[in-house]
Chain A
Amino acid sequence: MSVQNDPAEQFAQFAHPERLVSGDWLEAHLGDPGLVVVESDEDVLLYETGHIEGAVKIDWHTDLNDPVVRDYIDGEQFAALLGSKGISRDSTVVIYGDKSNWWAAYALWVFTLFGHEDVRLLDGGRAKWEADGRAYTTAPEAAATVEYPVVQRDDSRIRAYKDDVLAHLGNPLIDVRSPEEFSGERTTAPAYPDEGALRAGHIPSAQSVPWGRAAAEDGTFRPISELNEIYRDGAGLVDGDNVVAYCRIGERSSHTWFVLTHLLGFENVRNYDGSWTEWGSAVRVPIVQGSEPGAVPAR
């Protein structure tokens, strides 16, 4: 059972307006049959401090990642997780979170790996909800367990592995990390632990577009005209492009994946979740330093 879309005018400009809902819409639909609200944050305690009424919590570290292998949970684990949160295969899921929905977008991307069809973001996430003066509750999570089918994860469409990225070189890459991470001038003062990568810089030819540029001050997504300026005029993307986005561990780039796929309508966007922590430590992969994208090496 699917819940109707938010017809709000500000979403009509996007390629897939059905992927966003506003605070007004969510407030009016809380408790609708078929709707489950999910909070997903960087901070693992934020949900406990107060959350939207009836929302369940899904944590990217402790719920969505496999605890042993560097990978996402599998079909059985995903089915058990979603079932325990009261989510059915046909539920409309609205995800929101902190940091301009950075982690919410990551959760949405993982839901998409499993082909969960109707999954949306609350535009602006926690910050906008709070700024609008809307209510939170500290009531403990209370979801009745339901049946969620075991669906095998499909990594072929929206996820890229390191070898995929090597084969992709020559096509557009978007590096969504900070300019300092991109150029390789890491801030490494003495006694700081390293950041989990042995080399600094970026993948050759990658355009630097820090993920946060897609978010406005209030945490909502920027209007389509500004997104076009950033990604088409600025980063040179054109319709039909095959795009790979990456960051440090694949979370910030999920936000960019959402923008490119659902707001701008690019159909072939993959998130390289191995990202810099893999690439920057891999043996003999090409790396470019400095603020320029650099050329794709000859093979």
Chain B
Amino acid sequence: MTNDTLPEPLAEIRDDFLALEMKTRLQLLLEFSNELPELPARYADHPDLLERVVECQSPVFIFVEVDDSSTVHMFATAPPESPTTRGFASILVQGLSGLSAAEVLAVPDDYPNSIGLTAAVSPLRIRGMTGMLARVKRQIRAKAA
């Protein structure tokens, strides 16, 4: 994967993780987890609008908006007792929000496997983030259709 195809925020997140030792990567993931923003009120009051990501063992719900200028906004919620899932969601929220729909769709599907977390959390767990990314893209495609 080259930086030509990877949007800047995602490349930065990847480089930040790769710069760390394996154990410290979990600490950075925990920071992301703690940074996951609260849902905007319009979703907090309407959890039915959110889509559950079944690839994750923990309950996580995501919602993607594409505004008039084709800019993507992503929201997610997961309970505090699922910090890993929150961390995955937070990476995507920070890495994808503000990109154009076309840029998000061009993000390589295996981005989650490229950020140095696979060994730290295990390949099975990282599939949760891969599933989340796939759903973000699917929601964007559905909105464009």
Neighbouring A residues of B55 by C-beta, 8 Å: 192-193
Q: Is the CB of A43 within 8 A of B54?
A: no
Within 8 A of B (CB), among A40-68: 42-46, 48-49, 59, 61-62, 65, 67
Given contacts A62-B120, A98-B81, A193-B131, contact A44 B30 (CB under 8 A): no
**A44–B128 alpha-carbon span in the complex (Å):** 13
Interface residues on A, range: 10 to 19
Q: Is A28 an interface residue (CB 8 A)?
A: no
- The tally of CB-CB contacts under 8 A between chains A and B is 54
Q: Is B87 an interface residue (CB 8 A)?
A: yes
Neighbouring A residues of B131 by C-beta, 8 Å: 193
Neighbouring B residues of A126 by C-beta, 8 Å: 81
**A98–B55 alpha-carbon span in the complex (Å):** 19
The contact string, 1 if C-beta is below 8 Å from chain A, for chain B 52-64, is 0011011000000
For residue B60, give the distance in angstroms from its CB to the closest CB of chain A. 12
Interface residues on B, range: 20 to 34
Q: Is the CB of B81 within 8 A of A48?
A: no
For residue B58, give the distance in angstroms from its CB to the closest CB of chain A. 7
**A59–B122 alpha-carbon span in the complex (Å):** 10
Name B's interface SS.
helix
Q: Is the CB of B122 within 8 A of A49?
A: no
Q: Is the CB of B122 within 8 A of A45?
A: no
Interface centre among B27, B119, B122, B134, by most chain A C-beta atoms within 10 angstroms, is: B122
For residue B128, give the distance in angstroms from its CB to the closest CB of chain A. 10
Q: Is the CB of A48 within 8 A of B57?
A: no
24 interchain pairs (CB within 8 A)?
Answer: A42-B57, A42-B58, A43-B58, A43-B81, A43-B82, A43-B85, A44-B120, A44-B122, A44-B125, A45-B29, A48-B26, A48-B27, A48-B83, A49-B33, A61-B124, A61-B125, A62-B121, A62-B122, A65-B122, A67-B119, A126-B81, A191-B134, A192-B54, A193-B131
